[in-house]
Amino acid sequence: MLKVGLTGGIGAGKSEVSRLLASYGAVLVDADKIAREVVEPGTPGLAAVVAAFGPDVLTADGTLDRPKLGSIVFSDPASLATLNGIVHPLVGARSAELEAAAGPGAVVVHDVPLLTENGLAPLYDLVVVVDASEETRLDRLVRLRGMTEAEARARMAAQATGEQRRAVADLVIDNDGPLEALEPQVRAVWDRLTERAAAGPGTAPEA
């Protein structure tokens, strides 16, 4: 089994890279998806979030009010650290369960938005970073996700810098261009991952 950590700043296109890798045969462990699951109604995770931030972060039907919580944590580093301290261990435990269920020869790609911020690079055999310029990411967040420019900049500022992500990367995918330019890069990365998986542990990727 080859354990791959995939990360990238918000708006860089990491989700599209995850989708492509899964279509090629990777076993995908999506930390964002798991993070939503561990705070669903009735979970210990949601109870811990309410205990930390108060009942105002719940909607009328008892689900987590994500926009409300986001408005709190993405403008306050201490609150963001509190939220990460609740959710991260729960995500880690569930990710380990999914990884254990994969076959021994699998390429397991962990889609981890906060890999760099939480110092998780040592957990993986390889780290792949999806990168794009600040201007490109800002445009995508405003145009495709409907954020205001201020909201987008706050989300970006709450994450690691591109330089910090690249510092922990074994492979970097540059995604400033269109999808047609991204797909060949991801296919090339997939070929290198399968070669590395076949070669066994301890084999460094070629530069």
**Residue ranges of the binding site for ATP:** 11-16
With contact defined as beta carbons under 8 Å apart, do 98 and 37 qualify?
A: no
List the binding residues. Answer: 11-16
Sheet holding 171-174, edge to edge: 27-30, 107-111, 2-8, 126-131, 171-174
**Number of residues that this document lists for the chain:** 207
C-alpha 139/C-alpha 136 separation (Å) is: 5
CA-wise closest residue to 11 among 125, 158, 131, 93: 131
